[in-house]
Amino acid sequence: MRFRKSQVGAYSTLPGHGMTYLPGKIAGALLLVSQIEDAVPLIHGPVGCSFQRKLNPYRPYSLFYETPCTNMDDVNAVYGGEEALEEAIVETYERYRPRLIVVITTCASDLIGDDVKAVVERAKRTVRCDVIYSTGNFVGRAKPVGYQDVFYAIVDQLLDEDRKAERIESSVNLITLALHGAGMKTAEMASVLERMGIKINKIYFDHTKVEDLYELPKAELNIVDYPQVWTRVAKRKWGVDCYELRASHLYKDPEKLDPFGIEGSTRVFREIAERLGKDEEGEKVIRKLKNEAQEKLYELRKDIEGRRIAVEGGLSHGIGLMAIRELGMKVSALIYRTHGLEHHGYSEEALKEKFSLDVEVARKYGSVPLVLVNPSAEEEIRALKETGTELVICRAGSAPRYEAEGFKTFNSTNFALHHLRVGFECPLELCRKMKEALEKPPRKASLLGLLEYDLLYPWLTPSWAKLKDIFGVTREGAKGEEVLVAALEEVSCESL
């Protein structure tokens, strides 16, 4: 069980995941509020906190245009920002006329100890809309912090306990996170559930309005793609249970961690049907759809069955597992880079357990992969050539290195964001895209392939790799001041 505990622990501390390119406290809160059409965020802090996501958006078209801010200054830092916050709530209402204002605190307002709750209660007497607040402290270390914290605030502050009387029998809420893209695409899933006799109460967040939030307690079951703290409040207040597609705290078997593909989706739909008492009706639908998907896949995969692939990062993220289980491909090598995992709490025993679990699953489906742990660039390329690897499944940042050596690559990042989902169509899409990747000639002259890459973090250039380490040290304080100073000096010398 070491792997399971380490996986959960590492997810809660990864600085890259939690603070930069995925939702941290402010960014995650903005992400969720932006998905509620008639809600407006109000950032209680300096103007830079409001403007940061305009400089560094998740995507070029995701700029969070409406980000009003209390514009805290030195005077507020000394004498408090409560008056400024109350005025800003009123001004935000008068300017935007939203149905909901979500106050998002920042480091500055948190440090001076403003009583945000009291200010919100006072301001609600003036404005004619709902007002809630998110401090980032409601959910502890649960990630993504801002997203989870705002959802917790919605359930805790906005919705009353007496709504449990309005329950819709055999109904579910499908909860999605916009940034996860296709991590839980809901169209096919909703269709299958409805055919099983299960009603879809609401899909959050898909053109969601404030009035839809009030409908949340009507479902019998919340379906989420990973553990979320607010679901405990929903269970306590209304008795609404929760089903987690990726319950990483319960399982260590990669196949049970993976809700995707024909087998993974079959398991998910059966478990949901069982929770709602739709076993018999659901089984008929599931069996029919599974058989249809297997027949289509049998024809589709003929050209790629048995082809040899290498998988970067192991089998626990779904794509590699689908490739060997559903598509009949063979894993020639499993490539692991453990430095980041070790830095964030994975023990040597936990890593060994992870490797052995992946190898065990690979052997179950007819592969005996070579395990490469932190190989040098030369060792890795030589091993891939010796094992007859035809395609490397890797993140987007790693692809240029492999392509420069003549290997064809499959962009796991792109597929995970835009295609990976629960349902029987996903493995068919994966098969088509795998065939495309194998048919295309490798790109040998990409601009990114001309760059020098770091040995420990081969998807980053050496300077960016050092900055990554600096960020981790400054956030966690785990390596000490000497390491931080040395890293800063090294980056400074390279810049000069």
Residue range 1-54, pLDDT digits in tens: 444 444 444 443 333 333 344 567 888 898 899 889 999 999 999 988 887 766
Residue range 232-284, pLDDT digits in tens: 999 999 999 999 988 755 556 667 778 899 999 999 999 999 999 999 999 99
Domain assignment present for residue 284? The answer is no
Q: Choose one of 250, 266, 283: the last residue of a domain.
A: 250
- The predicted structure's pLDDT at residue 90: 97
Residues 152 and 203 in one domain: no
Residues 325 and 342 in one domain: yes
Residues 392 and 320 in one domain: yes
Domain assignment present for residue 326? The answer is yes
| Gap between the Cα atoms of 338 and 457, Å rounded | 10
For residue 343, which amino acid is it?
H
Domain assignment present for residue 16? The answer is yes
Domain assignment present for residue 279? The answer is no
Domain assignment present for residue 457? The answer is no
Residue range 136-158, pLDDT digits in tens: 899 987 878 888 999 999 999 99
Q: Choose one of 158, 192, 209: the last residue of a domain.
A: 158
Residue 149 near residue 139, CB atoms below 8 Å: yes
Q: Choose one of 158, 178, 211: the last residue of a domain.
A: 158
Mean pLDDT of the region 79-104: 96
More reliable by pLDDT, 480 or 225: 225
Total domains present in the chain: 4
Residues 120 and 193 in one domain: no
Q: Is the pLDDT reported for residue 319 higher than 80?
A: yes
Mean pLDDT of the region 68-89: 93
Residues 432 and 482 in one domain: no
Domain assignment present for residue 274? The answer is no
| Gap between the Cα atoms of 117 and 44, Å rounded | 13
Residues 95 and 193 in one domain: no
The residues near 182 (Cβ < 8 Å, ≥ 6 apart) are 416, 417, 418, 419, 420, 421
- The predicted structure's pLDDT at residue 476: 57
Domain assignment present for residue 268? The answer is no
Residues 227 and 130 in one domain: no
Residues 217 and 311 in one domain: no
Q: How confident is the model at residue 352 (pLDDT cuts 50, 70, 90)?
A: confident
Q: How confident is the model at residue 384 (pLDDT cuts 50, 70, 90)?
A: very high
Residues 301 and 436 in one domain: yes
CATH number of the domain within which 121 lies: 3.40.50.1980
Phi-psi region of 221 (alpha: psi -120 to 50; beta: other; left: phi over 0): beta
Range of the domain at 175: 161-250
Residues 112 and 231 in one domain: no
Domain assignment present for residue 281? The answer is no
Residues 231 and 204 in one domain: yes
Q: What is the pTM of this model?
A: 0.83
Residues 144 and 13 in one domain: yes
